[in-house]
A and B are shown apart, each in its own frame.
Chain A
Amino acid sequence: MAKAKQVPLVDHLVLGERPHLVANRCRQCGARYFGRRSGCASCFGVDFEQVEVPTKGELETFTIVSMAAPGIPVPFAAGVVDCGGTQVRGNVINTEPDPDHVRLGMKLRLATHVVGVDADGTECIGYGFEPLEAS
């Protein structure tokens, strides 16, 4: 059976053998952003290049969301991961979402997972960050 067609949840997730995130870096000042840009908020430049974001990082801050909008499974851990100087928003996955397992400064790595399958059978692939070492 052929492997299902896949699409990333967001443009800045690159799928394939080695899934990773890409940022748009301002060619003028080096500021990094996720998503489509009209210009640079730091230096007002308009030229950007795509750069690869390291897949390993440290948890800079987090919360564990217990009350969310209807349709969002809770609890889940959401945070910001410092990936070699680029801050990335994402969930902490593949561990229990509680303060005993999710800790400030913990080492994490990018991990992908299937978000869902649409009417054409195409898989949506999302990302999160999982503990680098099993706790």
Chain B
Amino acid sequence: MAADDIWILGIHMTRFGKRPELDTIDLASEAVRGALADGGVSMADVGILAAGSLMSRSAGFGQELQKQIGQTGIPVYNVANACATGATALRTAIMAVKAGECDVGLAVGAEKLSGAGLLSGGSRPADSERWTPSGRQGAVAALDGRVGTETMPGVFAQVGMQYLNQHAYDGVPLELFARISEKNHAHSTLNPLAAYTKAMSLEEIMGDVMIAYPNTRPMCSANCDGGAAAIVVSDAKLKTLDPDQRRRAVKVAASVLTTDPWQEACQVLPDVNTLTRNAASQAYEAAGVSPSDLDLVELHDCFATAELVHYDNLMLCEPGDAVDFFESGATSRDGATPVNVSGGLESKGHPIAATGIANVWEICHHLRGEAGDRQIEGATVGLAHVIGLGQACGVHILEKAA
């Protein structure tokens, strides 16, 4: 233990899926109460709240939440960073504790997405009566569908296809990405909190509704409701707590948030690679671990096409070797570097602002030896990664208490 270590004392993920009886604040409250109970503390102990809910459109989501979990007068930071919103909330709470502003921080993210039509990216406005240039492109009409695509499945399909083009892949892209999805859906059968827990055959995945080639529907993240919350404490605070709390605490070996440094063409097609590679490099250095030390990884498989490129970006394989790495079976739950044993966003689900904390919860669950049927035996170190387009990348490396 070092004096400036930060620990996850309590963490909770709600069941993901359809939760029609609950609103966003209910989901966040459930997550917070779970995390507080898990850590053995109460709102009276918490010195800062970092909260996010991307779709709730409430300026004061954290304050609305306080009205249901405890108004203690502590500072609230309402955060938004697309799909990295949860990781940003966690990072904010960690920074506050690290800075010595308080010794207990709370981060929470929650989202209501069941039935949301996000797959198609909203709706295109009708053309105006007269062509009038507007915006930075001087566009006289909506560009989505006319100058490329703005849908997420389409953007991330291009990310995966670009990787195949750069590395002279000569197989069948649809089948390759379907097999990644098949792996994650198989993993999900062991996760009772996942939105979808059904194994799917390669044929079913390839033959399902095409959304944006090569991503069929089961290769896309599942819209669902859910929340996740974490309690972080300083090393000094942890030392004052009882042995059972100390035993279950998980060390935050690295907490990193990056944005994309300028690269040629990064404003044409989002470059999800450079900022992820930068975040991973910084995290490995801060934690003093290498990719081969990782017992499991939860990475941002918002689409099957994204999972492939992040094997490379997180340096789980040699540069350019993501396809061979996957095909070796390394990323299955019985492989050398299990990836997305939770089922990933494709089956566990992706309630946007919850995801960046839910991924950390999954890792903590294994490090504590509490993951039940899907436990990765003997796990001592794991990595959680999220990316939000726009862009922001969060990487957390977690270590089991010594």
Contact = CB atoms under 8 A, between A and B. Distances in A.
A132 interface: no
B140 A7 contact: yes
Contacts of A68: 120-121, 124, 144-145, 149, 151, 154
A79 B164 contact: no
A118 interface: yes
Interface in B107-154: 119-124, 126-131, 133, 135-141, 143-149, 151, 153-154
Interface in A63-117: 63-74, 76, 78-80, 87-91, 99, 104-105, 115-116
Contact of B136 (A36, A42, A74, A89): A36
B130, B149, B153, B164 pick with most chain A CB within 10 angstroms = B149
A54 interface: no
Contact of A62 (B128, B129, B135, B158): B158
B265 A80 contact: yes
A47 interface: no
B362 to A, nearest CB: 29
Contacts of A35: 135-138
Given A68-B151, A71-B123, A122 B146 contact: no
Size band of the B side of the interface? 35 or more
A10 B144 CA distance: 12
B3 interface: no
Contacts of B151: 65, 67-69
B162 interface: yes
B138 A10 contact: yes
A70 B124 contact: yes
B37 interface: no
A126 B161 contact: no
Interface of B: 119-124, 126-131, 133, 135-141, 143-149, 151, 153-155, 157-159, 161-162, 164-165, 173-174, 209-215, 262, 264-265, 267-269
6 contacts: A8-B140, A11-B138, A68-B154, A78-B149, A104-B161, A104-B165
